[in-house]
Amino acid sequence: MSPESPRLRLRLAAPLTRGLLLVLSLAAGAGAAGPAPAATPQAPAPSRVPAPRPVAELERSWRELEQQLRALDRILPPEALPASESPPAGFDTLRSAAAASGAGRRPLGLEEALALAFQANPSLLADRQEVAAAAADLQARLGRWWPRLSAVAGVAQQQEADTFSVPRGNGGIGLGPNFAAGGLRAANGQAVDGPFYVPSGGGGTLTTGTGQAGAGLEVDWALVDFARTPAIKAARERLRRARSSYASRLRELQLAVSEAYYQLQKADQLVRIREADLRNDITILAEVLDLQQAGLVPRLDELRRRAIEASNQERLVQALADQAVARRRLAVLLDLPAQAVPTAADPIRLQPRWPLDLDRSLLEAYRDNPELEAILATRDALARDRDATAAALLPRLSLFALAGGDLSRTDQWNIQGDCCGTAVIPSLTTASTDWSVGLTLRWLLFDGGSTAAEARVLARRADAEAHRWAARRNDIQLRLEQAFFQHEASLASLAAARRGVAASLEAFRDVKLRYRTGLASEVELSLTQDQLISSLVQRLSATVDVNLTYARLLRELLPMPRDPAGPVAPRLTLQPGS
């Protein structure tokens, strides 16, 4: 006999009982009336209601029915569970992804996931680099208070070829015997030309090469610079903006990781619900097949159960896909490698009711808000940049000083001609030192109005940031109010969903018992099962919505450090007054 035969006997008992009771009632009524006479038909007599049967006779009928069911159970062949239809495409892939194990599976708690995100998230690392860049820019601006000391050095090589001619010499200009023809006497008494005498019509050529090297120190110090102070203030404001943006990014990242984690918890639980629903469908389908093979239920019940089983299998496939997507979304936020599969190690825990009322939540959200501070810092930086640009129209006084030395060597060769040889030095080395100090005043008198126009551009951008601050403040208020009202609604929905689950579960147990005893139809069982699954999903959604709305409220008030070098501790709840 089949191992399902005891259950089969219970399932078959109620339908056959009702049938036998109906037959026995009709038989009792027929026996009391007697056989109908063969005379001419007369007016029908009024129907007679049979008297209630004794309890002992009813129990005897049940025992007879039990014997008949046992005999029928021995006749029916054992029926295995029906072979299900081939699973849809991708079902095995999703199953494999859901059952990821080994080195790729990485269970994470929410606090552990947040700590990992604060260390490895690429967007957060980019914001840390922006803060470092803003700090370096401020340091560069502060250096403008100090003089600039530069070392200057250089080498050069030059070569030129000269050709010259003398149409008129210098012998007739009366410069003395050194410049006259025959103006001097040699030791033997002969007249000789002066050493600097150049005859008319003479000429010559020579090549000159010069090598030079020099080195020195140069000092430039802006004594009066009206653009220096506003430029430094603008750099400070940009650093404040970068730090505020970093703190705001921390808030956004905590919210994103919390939402991804809660959605992963929901996806995991939804897969469990869908799997339990599908297992229950397969069990009921097997029972319907048993009853249909015994001829106790119509073929319509079997077809309906097969359709329900296929629909629930489709829901399970979608739940597995949502689970895989939720895992990848969390992995991207944590910057995990592609082969790592994060899983939710924490069970679903309900966050408490938000500890602040709406008005106090709004006041706390506006106080020390990094989003608003970043906009204010941007506005102030633009205002300081405007001052620095306008200062270009004011005078600038600088001190400069220079001291150094030069060394040069000049070589002349390839000397030809009939004059001027006494002025040629074949090789000459020259060494020199020099220094200088002074003041430079620079005052821009006219530039066509471009500097004033640039200052107006920065002023308009600063005004735009002021309006953007007001708009962002309204956005924060709307986000917080939406999260606050949704949080209250989620708590109310959760209370209703819990009552619905309790009632649906009790109804399902009752209708399943009634179905197995033949007092309820398969349609009632299906509707009650769908209602139970719907109630479970609603309770799950309401629970996750409570946590999600709490995380969104926390994002608006959670204090975060401005310094990237400081530690970041994940906080999942808000302590009033902290």
The model's pLDDT over 428-479, given as tens digits with 9 standing for 90+, comes to: 898 889 899 989 988 988 888 999 999 999 999 999 999 999 999 999 999 9
Residue 26 lies in a domain: no
Same domain, 540 and 492: yes
**Which CATH number goes with the domain that contains 334?**
1.20.1600.10
Same domain, 376 and 519: yes
Residue 566 lies in a domain: no
Lowest mean pLDDT among 73-77, 108-112, 188-192, 363-367: 73-77
Closest C-alpha among 386, 450, 457 to residue 233: 386
Containing structural domain, residue 209: 147-225+396-442
Confidence (pLDDT) at 93: 54
Residue 239 lies in a domain: yes
State how many domains the chain has.
Answer: 2
| Span 310-320, pLDDT tens digits | 988 999 999 99
Rounded to 10 deg, the angle between the 299-334 and 522-557 helix axes is 10
Residue 568 lies in a domain: no
Same domain, 322 and 216: no
Same domain, 340 and 257: yes
Same domain, 306 and 436: no
| pLDDT tops 70 at residue 81 | no
Same domain, 248 and 325: yes
Q: Report the pLDDT averaged over residues 98-115.
A: 79
Residue 125 lies in a domain: yes
Residue 49 lies in a domain: no
Residue 79 lies in a domain: no
| Span 507-554, pLDDT tens digits | 988 988 887 787 887 788 888 888 988 998 999 999 999 999 999 999
Same domain, 308 and 400: no
DSSP string, 254-320: HHHHHHHHHHHHHHHHHHHHHHHHHHHHHHHHHHHHHHHHTTSS-HHHHHHHHHHHHHHHHHHHHHH
Same domain, 240 and 211: no
Same domain, 237 and 315: yes
Residue 78 lies in a domain: no
3-state secondary structure of 354: coil
CA 506 to each of CA 112, 272, 499, 501, 502: distance values in angstroms, whole numbers, following the listed order: 39, 20, 11, 8, 6
Same domain, 129 and 151: no
Which residues fall within 8 angstroms of residue 450, CB to CB, at 6 or more apart? none
Same domain, 120 and 240: yes
Same domain, 235 and 205: no
| Span 391-412, pLDDT tens digits | 989 999 999 888 998 989 988 8
Closest C-alpha among 537, 87, 558, 19 to residue 313: 87
DSSP string, 362-423: HHHHHTT-HHHHHHHHHHHHHHHHHHHHHGGGS-EEEEEEEEEEEEEEEEEEEEEESS-GGG
Q: Report the pLDDT averaged over residues 357-377.
A: 94
| Span 39-74, pLDDT tens digits | 333 444 444 444 444 445 545 544 554 565 455 444
| Span 324-344, pLDDT tens digits | 999 999 999 999 998 889 999
DSSP 473: H
